[in-house]
Amino acid sequence: MIRVGPAGWSYPDWAGYVYPSRRKKGFHEATYLAEFFDTIEINTSFYNPIRPDHAAQWIERVAGNPRFIFAAKLWQRFTHNTIPANVGGAAGSTIATPTAEDERTVRAGFDVLRAAGKLGAVLLQFPFSFHRSPETVAHLTALLNRFADYPLVVEVRHASWQTAETLALLAKCNAGFCNIDQPIIGRSLQPSTETTSPVGYVRLHGRRYDTWFTDDAAVPSHERYNYLYSTEELAPWAKRIHKVAERSRDVFVITNNHYQGKGVVNALQLISILKGSKVKVPEPLRQQFPELESIADAPPAEPSLFPLKRSD
């Protein structure tokens, strides 16, 4: 089964774009998105472990869609803060070593989702600076063994990992390979259709070449993901997704170009392309992005007297 959805749901800039500007009592973003998507990649778990009570609440929030399954990122303490400075970390950086307690905390949230049958994938996301070397291979292997009981997927962004040896390691550990779209700068990982486990995975980050690696403090962090794919750019990825699906039991397609809901737009367009049919579209998004009109399954119930204007 192919599930397409956005990365995360809690963005202030989504108000009036993805979500209504005025929300009804009891409104929750995950419940709202589950009307349109069969998955969301939990983004907050990258910054802090999921609290078990939050996981239980999220399960309830998406109960209206029985097909819905979450994907979730592994805490960055395991993927970013443990890289030796000489093989991927910044020189002089403080290196934290995850403890047994860190692992227990991470597992507590994941296990609530898994027990409910709502954890489809755990993504180990590594930075571009994580290059393939004997040390990083050992680090990755240790992580794959440490969390082997989860449906793991590995995202690497540097081309040094685009090798048969990497694929063999992931297959041996029953971990999936994350096929990504990103700005191709230097030795960036190229688009691919790899599968190394029953879980196929695709992530689209956008193509903001001018901000992808910027260290200009004057450039807001969201500009890295301020990119809207055209349907012509999405078409080759739809073909790649079908190829991944041919060799996978479950496929997760995540759009990470989140600024002002652009990833939600592209996720809806991908679903329409993959299914060859029109789709349900959030009304605020429909007003902001007229290009969605051609794939929306029904006209607005009540046309707005004051249409919102898109500002890029």
What pTM did the predictor assign?
0.91
pLDDT tens per residue, range 218-257 = 777 778 899 999 999 999 999 999 999 999 999 999 999 9
CA distances from 269 to 30, 110, 145, 206, 224 (A): 20, 30, 37, 15, 21
Compute the mean pLDDT over every residue in the chain, rounded to the nearest whole number.
Answer: 91
Structural domains of the chain sorted by starting position, each given as residue range(s) with its CATH number in brackets: 2-294 (3.20.20.410)
Residues near 164 by beta carbon (within 8 Å), at least 6 away in sequence: none
Query: Long-range contacts for 164-170 (Cβ within 8 Å, ≥24 apart)?
Result: 166/132, 167/194, 167/196, 169/137, 169/140, 169/141, 169/144, 170/144, 170/196, 170/197
304: DSSP letter:
-
The whole-number pLDDT of residue 161 equals: 97
C-alpha span between 261 and 9 (Å, rounded): 10
Beta-bridge mates of residue 132: none
124-150, pLDDT tens digit by residue? 999 999 999 999 999 999 999 999 999
pLDDT of residue 221: 79
**Please, which pLDDT band fits residue 214 given cuts at 50, 70 and 90?**
confident
Q: Give me the percent of the chain exceeding a pLDDT of 90.
A: 81
